[in-house]
C-alpha cells in the first residue's frame, strides 16, 4: 500500500511542471499556483497481487499464504519428513541354538527266542524226568514217583545274549506232552550258575499248557540290578500211579518272554523300542516377551534347522519325530503345530559317524512361546532287529542317546503380538551409528525445513505477534503399542538467532528429566528437556487413516516460536516405544510417515510493529535550488478509507543513489501520517472502515533537495487498538486518494 503511495510523487511533480507556461521574452519571473484536485486514487488489500501491501504473487510469497472459506488469511507451509520406516521398533527375536539329547532310557525286553525248529526254547524227555528205562505207551501203567534228579535244560534264547535287569519278571510257558498228569512241576531258572528262583505248577495235566511268572527284580528301589546271561533251567516233577494218557513224550518249555522286564543294558536281538523326551528352547526376553499363551511372533521368513543329528545307539532309528507345539502353521490352531519327521530313506542309521541335518522354511509360521520358551517333543522308534533277516545281536545301554542341535535362524518378523520391551528408536539417521544419538546441528542427521518467504516477510514486518499460530504434525502410522514422539524443533531466524519450540509445563507436551532424551543432542551435548516437546501416537490405527497432533498456544510455546519468524526449522526426534510395556501389535514395516504443517492465521496483535520497504523513485526532473525553475511551495493531501483492522503510522525517507538520507516526510517534529484502524467486532474482524485525510507541507529545504531523490524507504508502524487481537481477511483493504497543491516559479528572459 505504502509503496504505491510514494510512486505517485513523481507523477505529482510532472503534472505540476507541465502546467507552467514558458514565454519567450522579456526577462521576468512568473509564479503559477496549481491545484490538482485528484492526482490518483487506488485501493490496496493487505494481501494480494502487486497492488497490495504484501504481494502474494511475488515469487518469495506465492507458497506462503492460504485462504480458508471465510477469507481468513493463513501463513502456511507443509513439509514431509523423510524418516523412513521405524524398523527399530520391531523387536529382534533371538533363540540361542539348543542342543537336545534323547536317551534310550529303560529298555523293555519281551521275546527271548525265535523258538527252535521244534517251536520251543527247550524240553526234557520222559525217560530223563521219570528215570524209566523204557518209554511207555498209552494205556500202560506208570507207577507213582518223583524225578530221581533235576533235569537241566539249556534254553534256546537266540534273541537274547545278556541283560542287566532293573525290574520285572520272566513269563515262562510250559506244555505237558509227557503222556501222564503231574501232581507238581518245579522249574528253577538260572543265570549261568546263579539261581533266579523257582516256579511250582501243581496238577499239571497231560496235554495242557501252563505258565507262570518268575520275578527277577520286584522292588528296584531296594533290590540290586540282576544280570541275566546263559539262561538254563532245572525241572523236577512228581506224579502218582496212573495209566498213561498218551504215549511217552517230553515236558516242553514253549516260550520265555519278558513281563514288564526293564533292562538298563542288553546284548540281544531287540524288538522295536520307543522312547521320547521333551525340552524347550529359550527366546531372549530383552526386546519381546510372551506373557500370555495367545502372544505370538508371526514370521515372513526364517529357517528351523535340526542339524548334527548323531545316533549313538546300536540300532537304526526308523522314525524320529520332533514336534514343536509352539510353532504353528495357518490357521494356527493347536493341531497345526510343526512336526519334522525322519523316516524311510531319511531314517537315522545306528552309530552314525556322519551327522544328519534337515531344515524347514518358517514362512507364515507363528511362534507361541509362553514365558519365552519354545517347547519341543521328541519321539523315536528303533528298528525291529528281530524281524530282520540275518539279524544279529545289538548292545544297548539306557544311556545311549540320539542328539541334535535345533536352531532358528534368519527370522524375519511380519507381525508380533505381545509385550514389546520399552526402547527408544531414533527418527533420524545416526551417521556415526555408535548409539550416542543424533545432533540437531548436523546437516546429515537433522531434518531441515526452509520456510519460503518468511525471510522476506521478516525483513518487511517486525513487531507483529501472531496469536493463533499452530504447528500440526499429520501422520500415518500402524504402530500398535503406545508410543511417544519426543522431538527438538530448532528455529533459526533471518539474523541467525536460534530458539526451541517448547512443551507447555503441566501439559502432555512437556518433556521432563524422567523422559529418555539423552540421544537428542546439540553440538554434541544432550538438549535440555525444557527445550523439547512430545506427543503421543494413537495406537491401533489403520495405516491408511491420517492422524494429527496440534501444537498450539495452549500446549506449547508455538506463538512465541513463530512470532520470531523462523526462516528455517531443524528437527531431530525419537520414538519412545511402549513405555508402559503393555501388550500390543507391531507389524513390519512399522510405518510412521509424518508431515509438518505450519499454520499462522492472521489473527494478530501489533504494538510498534514496523513494515519496511524501499522503492526506486527518480526525481531528477524536478527543479533544484540552483535551477532557474524551482519549487516555491508544495503540499500533499492524503485521504484514506481503511478497512484493515491495523492502524498505520507512515514515514517516508528520501534517499540518494548511495542511500544517503535527504529528508523525511513528515519531518520528525511533525505529526505522523496516520491511518486509523477499521472498527472490529468481538471476533477481531473489521466491520466499518475508518476514513480521514492528512495534509503534508513541504519545507523550503525539502523543495530544494527533493530532486536528488533516487529511492524512497517506506517505514510503516502497524498497531492494533489497545494491543488487542485482530483478524485479517483477504477482503480487508485500504482506499487511498492523493491530491497536491504546488507553486512553481519560472524565470523568463
Which residues, other chains included, contact 205 with Cβ-Cβ below 8 Å and sequence gap of 6+? 176, 181, 182
Which residues, other chains included, contact 243 with Cβ-Cβ below 8 Å and sequence gap of 6+? 139, 140, 141, 142
The candidate with the shortest Cα–Cα distance to 422, out of 239, 289, 252, is 289
Task: Name the 3-class secondary structure at 124.
Answer: strand
746, containing H or E segment: strand 733-748
DSSP 600: E
Quote the pLDDT of residue 143: 95
Task: Tell me phi and psi for residue 563, to 5 degrees.
Answer: -70, -15
Paired with 477 in beta bridges are 592
Quote the pLDDT of residue 65: 52
The candidate with the shortest Cα–Cα distance to 742, out of 19, 6, 5, is 19
The candidate with the shortest Cα–Cα distance to 16, out of 740, 746, 637, 712, is 740
User: What is the distance, to the nearest Å, from the Cα of residue 630 to the centroid of all Cα atoms in its chain?
Assistant: 81
Quote the pLDDT of residue 88: 82
Task: Name the 3-class secondary structure at 70.
Answer: coil
Answer whether 744's CB lies under 8 Å from 651's CB. Answer: no
pTM for the structure as a whole: 0.69
Q: How far apart are CA 638 and CA 695, in angstroms?
A: 6
- When comparing pLDDT for 170 and 472, which is higher? 170
Task: Read off the pLDDT band of 10 (50, 70, 90).
Answer: very low
Answer whether 316's CB lies under 8 Å from 383's CB. Answer: yes
Q: In b/e form, how buried is each residue of 291-313, taking b as 16+ CB within 10 angstroms?
A: eeeebbbbbeebebbbeebbbbb
Q: In b/e form, how buried is each residue of 479-510, taking b as 16+ CB within 10 angstroms?
A: bbbbbbbbbbbbbbbbeeeebbbbbbeeeebb
Strand pairing of 438-439 and 337-348?
A: unpaired
Provide mean pLDDT across the span 43-60.
57
Answer whether 177's CB lies under 8 Å from 120's CB. Answer: no
Q: What percent of the chain has pLDDT over 90?
A: 50
Task: Read off the pLDDT band of 468 (50, 70, 90).
Answer: confident
Provide mean pLDDT across the span 493-522.
96
Paired with 90 in beta bridges are none
Q: How far apart are CA 631 and CA 308, in angstroms?
A: 110
Provide mean pLDDT across the span 64-89.
63
Quote the pLDDT of residue 697: 82
- Side-chain-side CA neighbours of 430 within 13 Å: the count stands at 17
Q: How far apart are CA 716 and CA 673, in angstroms?
A: 9
Burial class from Cβ neighbours inside 10 Å (0-12, 13-18, 19+) for residue 213 reads: middle
Which residues, other chains included, contact 151 with Cβ-Cβ below 8 Å and sequence gap of 6+? 124, 128, 129, 234, 235, 236
Task: Name the 3-class secondary structure at 355.
Answer: coil
Burial class from Cβ neighbours inside 10 Å (0-12, 13-18, 19+) for residue 259 reads: middle
- What is the sign of the dihedral through the CA atoms of 661, 663, 665 and 670? positive
Burial class from Cβ neighbours inside 10 Å (0-12, 13-18, 19+) for residue 37 reads: exposed
Q: How far apart are CA 268 and CA 590, in angstroms?
A: 62
Task: Read off the pLDDT band of 231 (50, 70, 90).
Answer: very high
Task: Read off the pLDDT band of 160 (50, 70, 90).
Answer: very high
Task: Read off the pLDDT band of 341 (50, 70, 90).
Answer: very high
Task: Name the 3-class secondary structure at 622.
Answer: coil
Answer whether 269's CB lies under 8 Å from 392's CB. Answer: yes
Task: Name the 3-class secondary structure at 12.
Answer: helix
> Could you report the per-residue pLDDT of 607-649, keeping only the tens digit for each?
555 656 677 777 777 677 777 777 788 777 778 888 888 777 7
- When comparing pLDDT for 30 and 346, which is higher? 346
DSSP 220: T
Answer whether 319's CB lies under 8 Å from 343's CB. Answer: yes
Alpha-carbon dihedral 609, 615, 620, 623, rounded to 10 degrees: -30
Quote the pLDDT of residue 459: 58
Task: Read off the pLDDT band of 693 (50, 70, 90).
Answer: confident
Please check the confidence at residue 463 and state whether its pLDDT lies above 90: no
Mean pLDDT lowest for which of 279-288, 428-437, 510-519, 668-677? 668-677
Quote the pLDDT of residue 329: 96
Quote the pLDDT of residue 724: 63
Task: Read off the pLDDT band of 348 (50, 70, 90).
Answer: very high
What does the longest C-alpha to C-alpha distance in the chain come to?
A: 196
> Could you report the per-residue pLDDT of 675-684, keeping only the tens digit for each?
888 888 877 7
Please check the confidence at residue 590 and state whether its pLDDT lies above 80: yes
> Could you report the per-residue pLDDT of 521-575, keeping only the tens digit for each?
999 999 999 999 999 987 766 777 888 899 999 999 998 898 788 889 999 999 9
Answer whether 633's CB lies under 8 Å from 704's CB. Answer: no
Which residues, other chains included, contact 495 with Cβ-Cβ below 8 Å and sequence gap of 6+? none
Quote the pLDDT of residue 6: 36
CATH 3.30.1050 corresponds to the domain 107-268: no
Answer whether 262's CB lies under 8 Å from 108's CB. Answer: yes
The structural domains of the chain, with segments of one domain joined by +, span: 2-72+605-748, 78-91+421-601, 107-268, 271-419
Which residues, other chains included, contact 335 with Cβ-Cβ below 8 Å and sequence gap of 6+? none
For 190, 485, 502, 596, the CA distances from 508, given in Å and listed in that order, are 89, 11, 12, 19
Provide mean pLDDT across the span 406-429.
93
Amino acid at each position: 500500500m505504502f509503496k504505491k503511495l510514494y510512486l505517485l510523487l513523481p507523477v505529482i511533480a510532472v503534472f505540476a511542471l507541465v502546467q507552467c507556461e514558458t514565454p519567450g521574452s522579456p526577462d521576468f519571473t512568473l509564479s503559477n499556483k496549481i491545484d490538482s484536485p485528484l492526482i490518483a486514487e487506488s485501493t490496496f488489500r493487505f494481501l494480494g497481487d502487486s497492488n497490495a501491501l504484501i504481494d502474494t504473487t511475488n515469487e518469495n510469497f506465492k507458497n506462503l499464504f492460504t485462504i480458508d472459506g471465510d477469507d481468513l488469511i493463513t501463513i502456511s507451509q507443509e513439509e514431509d519428513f523423510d524418516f523412513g520406516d521405524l524398523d527399530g521398533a520391531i523387536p529382534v527375536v533371538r533363540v540361542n541354538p539348543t542342543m537336545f539329547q534323547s536317551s534310550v532310557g529303560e529298555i523293555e525286553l519281551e521275546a527271548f527266542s525265535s523258538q527252535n525248529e521244534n517251536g520251543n526254547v527247550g524240553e526234557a524227555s520222559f525217560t530223563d524226568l521219570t528215570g524209566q528205562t523204557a518209554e511207555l505207551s498209552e494205556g500202560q501203567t506208570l507207577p507213582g514217583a518223583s524225578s530221581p534228579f533235576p533235569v537241566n535244560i539249556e534254553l534256546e534264547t537266540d534273541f537274547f545274549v545278556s541283560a542287566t535287569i532293573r525290574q520285572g519278571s520272566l513269563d515262562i510257558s510250559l506244555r505237558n506232552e509227557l503222556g501222564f498228569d503231574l501232581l507238581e512241576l518245579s522249574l528253577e531258572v538260572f543265570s549261568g550258575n546263579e539261581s533266579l528262583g523257582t516256579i511250582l505248577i501243581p496238577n499239571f495235566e497231560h496235554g495242557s499248557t501252563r505258565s507262570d511268572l518268575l520275578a527277577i527284580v520286584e522292588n528296584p528301589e531296594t533290590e540290586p540290578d540282576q544280570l541275566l546271561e546263559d539262561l538254563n533251567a532245572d525241572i523236577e516233577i512228581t506224579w502218582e500211579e496212573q495209566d498213561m494218557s498218551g504215549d511217552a513224550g517230553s515236558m516242553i518249555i514253549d516260550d520265555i518272554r519278558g513281563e514288564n522286564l526293564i533292562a538298563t543294558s542288553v546284548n540281544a536281538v531287540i524288538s522295536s523300542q520307543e522312547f521320547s523326551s521333551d525340552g524347550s528352547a529359550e527366546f531372549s526376553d530383552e526386546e519381546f516377551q510372551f506373557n500370555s499363551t495367545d502372544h505370538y511372533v508371526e514370521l515372513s521368513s526364517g529357517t528351523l534347522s535340526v542339524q548334527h543329528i548323531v545316533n549313538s545307539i546300536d540300532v537304526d532309528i526308523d522314525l524320529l519325530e520332533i514336534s514343536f507345539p509352539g510353532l504353528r502353521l495357518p490357521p494356527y490352531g493347536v493341531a497345526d503345530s510343526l512336526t519334522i519327521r525322519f523316516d524311510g530313506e531319511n531314517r537315522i542309521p545306528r552309530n552314525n559317524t556322519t551327522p544328519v541335518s534337515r531344515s524347514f522354511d518358517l514362512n507364515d509360521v507363528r511362534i507361541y512361546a509362553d514365558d519365552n520358551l519354545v517347547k519341543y517333543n521328541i519321539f523315536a522308534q528303533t528298528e525291529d532287529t528281530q524281524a530282520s533277516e540275518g539279524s544279529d545281536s545289538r548292545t544297548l545301554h539306557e544311556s545311549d542317546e540320539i542328539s541334535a542341535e535345533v536352531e532358528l535362524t534368519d527370522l524375519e518378523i511380519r507381525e508380533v503380538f505381545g509385550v514389546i520391551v520399552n526402547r527408544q528408536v531414533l527418527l533420524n539417521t545416526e551417521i556415526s551409528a555408535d548409539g550416542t544419538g543424533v545432533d540437531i546441528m548436523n546437516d546429515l542427521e537433522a531434518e531441515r525445513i526452509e520456510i519460503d518467504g518468511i525471510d522476506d516477510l521478516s525483513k518487511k514486518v517486525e513487531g507483529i505477534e501472531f496469536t493463533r499460530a499452530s504447528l500440526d504434525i499429520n501422520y500415518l502410522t500402524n504402530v500398535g503399542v503406545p508410543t511417544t514422539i519426543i522431538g527438538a524443533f530448532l528455529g533459526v531466524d533471518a539474523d541467525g538467532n536460534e530458539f526451541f519450540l517448547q512443551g507447555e509445563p503441566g501439559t502432555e507436551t512437556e518433556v521432563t528429566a524422567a523422559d529418555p532424551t539423552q540421544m537428542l543432542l546439540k553440538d554434541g551435548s544432550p538438549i535440555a528437556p525444557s527445550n523439547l516437546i512430545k506427543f503421543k501416537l494413537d495406537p491401533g490405527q489403520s495405516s491408511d487413516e491420517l492422524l494429527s497432533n496440534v501444537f498450539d498456544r495452549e500446549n506449547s510455546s508455538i506463538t512465541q516460536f513463530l512470532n520470531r519468524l523462523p526462516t528455517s526449522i531443524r528437527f531431530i526426534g525419537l520414538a519412545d516405544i511402549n513405555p508402559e510395556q503393555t501388550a500390543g501389535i507391531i507389524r513390519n514395516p512399522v510405518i510412521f510417515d509424518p508431515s509438518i504443517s505450519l499454520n499462522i492465521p492472521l489473527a494478530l496483535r501489533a504494538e510498534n510493529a514496523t513494515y519496511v520497504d524501499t522503492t526506486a523513485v527518480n526525481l531528477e526532473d524536478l527543479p533544484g535550488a540552483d535551477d532557474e525553475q524551482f519549487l516555491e511551495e508544495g503540499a500533499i493531501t492524503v485521504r484514506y478509507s481503511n478497512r484493515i483492522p491495523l492502524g498505520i503510522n507512515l514515514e517516508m525517507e528520501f534517499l540518494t543513489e548511495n542511500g544517503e538520507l535527504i529528508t523525511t516526510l513528515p519531518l520528525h517534529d511533525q505529526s505522523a501520517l496516520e491511518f486509523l484502524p477499521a472498527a472490529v467486532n468481538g471476533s477481531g474482524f473489521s466491520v466499518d472502515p475508518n476514513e480521514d485525510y492528512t495534509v503534508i507541507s513541504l519545507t523550503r529545504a525539502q523543495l530544494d533537495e527533493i530532486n536528488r531523490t533516487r529511492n524512497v524507504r517506506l517505514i510503516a508502524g502497524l498497531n492494533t487498538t489497545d494491543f488487542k487481537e485482530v483478524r485479517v481477511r483477504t477482503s480487508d483493504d485500504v482506499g487511498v486518494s492523493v491530491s497536491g497543491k504546488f507553486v512553481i516559479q519560472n524565470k523568463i528572459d
